[in-house]
């Protein structure tokens, strides 16, 4: 008996040591098992190494259809094509796999609806549901997938109207042919799509004007759809009565505008005669009346702004313009304001007039530029439109100060996303690369359009890159400052053009994206640190630990790092169009890699 016990203990120890530990979270494994239980795999579950049970690990034990990260810790892809699966697809369970990038169940017999919970797959980039029996409406929540690039829904029995995909900014492919969709086609960002088809459905109405990059085959089989490229042309209504009515309205509008112009001239002449100056303070107390007391004083002290306008000079208020219906510039100036930031070039205030829309006012100081030059500069900037450049709502210039007005962007800045609270927002490698490509293209566009006027951004940094409601990035405060050439020690003659400072600043933003480190001053210290580490051949040490942990492609991160270092090399400056082209090429390579790796 004494001999048997050591043998038993050794056997038990051997079994324990030889049993691989689970790497994926228990909750994720349980969710995956529930997900498969609601599908019916038929005889597949009897195949060797099928897995899909709570007693094994999806990564270590290589469950069928599962792919994990390079460390075999986290599930990244689920590819279950051509397995004769039936039953229902449980998005609530599968979306508990927090790192899931690819979900593919092409060519099975799955017959469920596409559930609202699909929006919980926040990091999903590729969704393939083609060749099944999915039915019912496509939920609006599918447009809330912030990272989705490829969406394949073809050859199903889906019905109803398509959701509005115009704000799904990263979408590259959309295929929904051979379904039963109805209604008008929603808007897509057709400029960005590289693949698209809604053929053989029951869409009606006109084909979107900007869908011209795709031929008629992408829209064929929709007899109620009309357009230039289709067999059915959209009818042109010619109604003499309506034409006459429109003409009457147009000329009436001219008369009204003329009367308003005369009234404005009279008001300006009257104001010019005033000798006394009045200070208009943006103070909550002006809105709330003459209330007094400690509580009122405490409440208003925070809302009180430090900028004011002196007497309205002739032509000085590029205003009394109407910002929104019923809201004049004077009303705007009387609204409560809150100081939200200070910088070397001025202060920022958050202002909310009575109409409920929140604005940001940029008060510029120490910029020696005349009113006429300021107005001409702003007019040129306002004329140039790009979806990734935040437009100026209004501006004001007097001898004392210059004010710029923008709509407030509640999702904050790139600086806050990288170094502050992310509020549950993911910012993985794919998102950062798409961000870099979008910003480079926007900056290259502005440089091209404003080249003859020599108007760069002049103060580009992560705190000046904001996120709209749909998390689409946009550059703010374009052209509000002269470029600080002296701060970068641009001694080379070739590097002294106005736009080189923007290229340098963009390089610093790229370094901030890649390293996750905040920038001090103009970013020269960060650039020097990265250069020194790369020179010592420890390149991987510069990358943000979050990117390394997710298993991002080190090769492509190194390529983007090289682009950034070229931007901050002041001896051989690049132009922004070349930078944008290099990053776009890298992004396309990343997209091709994701697509090919998702194939079974």
Residue pLDDT, tens place only, 125-160: 899 999 999 999 999 999 888 888 889 999 999 999
pLDDT of residue 562: 92
Distances (CA, A) of 106 to 67, 79, 157, 197, 532: 16, 8, 14, 17, 48
pLDDT digits (tens, 9 = 90+) for 72-119: 888 999 998 888 898 999 999 999 998 898 999 988 999 889 999 998
Distances (CA, A) of 531 to 386, 523, 535: 33, 12, 6
Q: Count of domains in the chain?
A: 2
pLDDT of residue 247: 62
The whole-angstrom separation of Cα 441 and Cα 329 is: 33
**Tokens 């090289």 map to which residue?**
562
pLDDT of residue 399: 67
Residues 564 and 598: beta-carbon distance below 8 Å:
no
State the pLDDT confidence band at 196, using cuts at 50, 70 and 90.
confident
Q: Residue 118 falls within a domain, yes or no? A: no
pLDDT of residue 334: 72
pLDDT at residue 572 tops 80: no
Q: What is the mean pLDDT of residues 505-527?
A: 86
pLDDT of residue 437: 92
pLDDT of residue 94: 92
pLDDT of residue 182: 93
The beta-carbon contacts of 232-236 under 8 Å, at least 24 apart in sequence, are 234/206
pLDDT of residue 133: 92
- Residue 352 sits in the same domain as residue 427: no
Q: How are beta strands 180-183 and 157-160 bridged, if at all?
A: parallel
Average pLDDT, the chain: 76
pLDDT at residue 312 tops 70: no
H/E element, 328: strand 327-328
Q: Which of 407, 433, 461 corresponds to the end of one domain? A: 407
- Say which range, 24-33, 297-306, 410-419, has the weakest mean pLDDT: 297-306
Binding-site annotation, residues: 362
Q: Residue 458 falls within a domain, yes or no? A: yes
pLDDT of residue 281: 37
Of residues 276 and 135, more confidently modeled: 135
pLDDT of residue 366: 65
**Tokens 């904050």 map to which residue?**
412
State the pLDDT confidence band at 465, using cuts at 50, 70 and 90.
very high
Q: Residue 298 falls within a domain, yes or no? A: yes
Q: Which of 407, 436, 467 corresponds to the end of one domain? A: 407
The whole-angstrom separation of Cα 286 and Cα 308 is: 13
State the pLDDT confidence band at 35, using cuts at 50, 70 and 90.
very high
3-state SS, residue 371: helix
CB contact set of 99 (below 8 Å; sequence gap of 6+): 69, 74, 75, 76, 123, 550
Q: What is the mean pLDDT of residues 258-280?
A: 54
pLDDT of residue 430: 87
Of residues 564 and 48, more confidently modeled: 564
3-state helix, strand, coil in the chain (%, to 5): 40, 15, 45
At residue 492's C-alpha, the angle toward residues 489 and 494, to 5°, is 125
The whole-angstrom separation of Cα 219 and Cα 211 is: 10
Render 519-565 in DSSP notation, one character per residue.
PPTTSHHHHHHHHHHHHTT-GGGGS-HHHHHHT--HHHHHHHHHHHH
- Say which range, 81-90, 439-448, 520-529, has the weakest mean pLDDT: 520-529
State the pLDDT confidence band at 13, using cuts at 50, 70 and 90.
very low
Looking at residue 574, the DSSP 8-state letter turns out to be P
- Residue 300 sits in the same domain as residue 337: yes
pLDDT at residue 171 tops 90: no
Nearest partner of 177 among 195, 161, 197, judged by Cα: 197
Q: Residue 314 falls within a domain, yes or no? A: yes
pLDDT at residue 276 tops 60: no
Q: Residue 554 falls within a domain, yes or no? A: yes
Q: How are beta strands 126-128 and 150-152 bridged, if at all?
A: parallel
- Residue 302 sits in the same domain as residue 424: no
The whole-angstrom separation of Cα 374 and Cα 367 is: 10
- Say which range, 164-178, 198-212, 275-289, has the weakest mean pLDDT: 275-289
Of residues 192 and 491, more confidently modeled: 192
- Residue 530 sits in the same domain as residue 588: yes
Residues 448 and 577: beta-carbon distance below 8 Å:
yes
Q: What is the mean pLDDT of residues 18-35?
A: 75
Written in H, E and C, the secondary structure of 392-452 is CCEEEECCCCEEEEEECCCCCEHHHHHHCCCCCCCCCHHHHHHHHHHHHHHHHHHHHHCCC
- Residue 364 sits in the same domain as residue 466: no
Beta bridge partners of 66: 78
- Residue 515 sits in the same domain as residue 388: no
pLDDT of residue 400: 67
pLDDT of residue 326: 53
3-state SS, residue 126: strand
The whole-angstrom separation of Cα 324 and Cα 117 is: 37
State the pLDDT confidence band at 422, using cuts at 50, 70 and 90.
low
Q: Residue 591 falls within a domain, yes or no? A: yes
Distances (CA, A) of 174 to 101, 198, 304, 356, 417: 17, 8, 50, 37, 29
pLDDT at residue 44 tops 80: no
Q: What is the mean pLDDT of residues 294-314?
A: 35
pLDDT of residue 256: 59
- Residue 567 sits in the same domain as residue 425: yes
- Residue 445 sits in the same domain as residue 554: yes
243 alpha-carbon distance from chain centroid: 42
Distances (CA, A) of 268 to 308, 311, 315, 398, 404: 20, 12, 8, 15, 22
- Residue 495 sits in the same domain as residue 392: no
Q: Which domain holds residue 351?
A: 280-407
Binding-site annotation, residues for ATP: 362
At residue 364's C-alpha, the angle toward residues 363 and 368, to 5°, is 150
Q: What is the mean pLDDT of residues 496-513?
A: 87
> Hey, which of 8-17, 261-270, 388-397 has the most confident mean pLDDT?
388-397
- Residue 431 sits in the same domain as residue 320: no
pLDDT of residue 297: 34
Of residues 577 and 8, more confidently modeled: 577
State the pLDDT confidence band at 496, using cuts at 50, 70 and 90.
very low
pLDDT at residue 212 tops 60: yes
Domain of 397, CATH number, reads 3.30.200.20
Q: Residue 382 falls within a domain, yes or no? A: yes
Q: What is the mean pLDDT of residues 33-48?
A: 80
Of residues 224 and 190, more confidently modeled: 224
- Residue 548 sits in the same domain as residue 483: yes
pLDDT at residue 10 tops 60: no
At residue 521's C-alpha, the angle toward residues 520 and 524, to 5°, is 80
Q: Which of 388, 407, 426 corresponds to the end of one domain? A: 407
State the pLDDT confidence band at 284, using cuts at 50, 70 and 90.
very low
Domain of 528, CATH number, reads 1.10.510.10
Residues 567 and 510: beta-carbon distance below 8 Å:
yes
- Residue 380 sits in the same domain as residue 481: no
pLDDT of residue 322: 44
Give pTM, 2 decimals.
Answer: 0.53
> Hey, which of 30-39, 189-198, 265-274, 349-358 has the most confident mean pLDDT?
30-39
Beta bridge partners of 77: 67, 102
pLDDT digits (tens, 9 = 90+) for 227-250: 877 778 888 755 555 555 666 666
pLDDT of residue 272: 53
Q: Residue 86 falls within a domain, yes or no? A: no
CB contact set of 509 (below 8 Å; sequence gap of 6+): 414, 439, 460, 461, 462, 465
């Amino acid at each position: 008996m004494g001999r048997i016990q050591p043998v038993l203990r050794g056997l038990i120890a051997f079994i324990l040591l030889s049993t691989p530990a689970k790497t994926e979270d228990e909750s994720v494994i349980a969710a995956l098992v529930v997900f498969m239980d609601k599908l019916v795999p038929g005889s597949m579950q009897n195949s060797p190494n099928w897995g899909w049970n709570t007693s094994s690990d999806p990564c270590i034990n290589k469950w069928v259809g599962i792919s994990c990260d390079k460390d075999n810790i986290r599930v990244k892809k689920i590819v279950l094509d051509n397995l004769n699966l039936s039953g229902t697809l449980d998005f609530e369970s599968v979306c508990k796999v927090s790192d899931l990038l690819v979900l593919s169940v092409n060519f099975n017999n799955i017959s469920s609806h596409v559930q609202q919970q699909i929006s919980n797959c926040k990091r999903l980039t590729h969704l393939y549901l083609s060749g099944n029996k999915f039915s019912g409406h496509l939920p609006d929540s599918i447009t809330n997938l912030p990272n989705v690039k490829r969406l394949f829904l073809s050859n199903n029995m889906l019905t109803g109207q398509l959701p509005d995909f115009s704000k799904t900014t990263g979408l590259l492919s959309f295929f929904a042919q051979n379904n039963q969709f109805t209604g008008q086609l929603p808007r897509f960002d057709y400029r960005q799509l590289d693949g698209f088809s809604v053929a053989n459905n029951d869409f009606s109405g006109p084909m979107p004007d900007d869908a011209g990059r795709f031929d008629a085959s992408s829209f064929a089989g929709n007899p109620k759809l009309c357009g230039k490229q289709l067999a059915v042309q959209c009818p042109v209504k010619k109604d003499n009565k309506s034409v006459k009515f429109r003409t009457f309205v147009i000329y009436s509008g001219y008369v009204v505008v003329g009367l308003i112009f005369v009234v404005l001239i009279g008001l300006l002449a009257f104001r010019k005669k005033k000798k006394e100056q009045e200070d208009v303070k943006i103070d909550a107390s002006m809105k709330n009346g003459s209330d007094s007391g400690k509580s009122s004083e405490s409440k208003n002290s925070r809302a009180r702004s430090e900028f004011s306008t002196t007497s309205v000079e002739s032509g000085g208020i590029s205003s009394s313009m109407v910002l929104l219906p019923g809201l004049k510039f004077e009303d705007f100036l009387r609204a409560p304001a809150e100081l939200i930031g200070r910088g070397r070039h001025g202060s920022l205030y958050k202002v909310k007039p009575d109409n409920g829309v929140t604005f940001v006012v940029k008060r510029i100081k120490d910029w020696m530029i005349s009113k006429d030059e300021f107005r001409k500069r702003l007019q040129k900037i306002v004329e140039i439109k790009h979806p990734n450049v935040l437009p100026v709502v209004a501006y004001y210039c007097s001898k004392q100060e210059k004010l710029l007005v923008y709509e407030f962007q509640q999702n904050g800045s790139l600086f806050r996303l990288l170094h502050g609270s992310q509020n549950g927002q993911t910012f993985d490698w794919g998102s950062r690369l798409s961000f870099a490509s979008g910003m480079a293209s926007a900056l290259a566009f502005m440089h091209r359009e404003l080249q003859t006027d020599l108007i760069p951004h002049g103060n580009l940094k992560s705190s000046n890159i904001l996120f709209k409601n749909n998390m689409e990035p946009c550059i703010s405060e374009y052209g509000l400052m002269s470029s600080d050439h002296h701060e970068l020690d641009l001694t080379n003659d070739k590097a002294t053009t106005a736009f080189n400072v923007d290229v340098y600043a963009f390089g610093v933003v790229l370094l901030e994206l890649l390293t996750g480190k905040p920038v001090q001053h103009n970013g020269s210290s960060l650039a020097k640190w990265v250069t020194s580490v790369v020179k010592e051949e420890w390149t991987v040490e510069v990358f943000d630990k979050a990117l390394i942990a997710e298993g991002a492609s080190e090769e492509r991160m190194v390529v983007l790092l090289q682009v950034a270092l070229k931007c901050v090399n002041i001896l051989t400056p690049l132009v922004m169009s070349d930078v944008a082209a290099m990053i776009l090429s890298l992004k396309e390579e990343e997209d091709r890699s994701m697509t090919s790796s998702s194939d079974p």
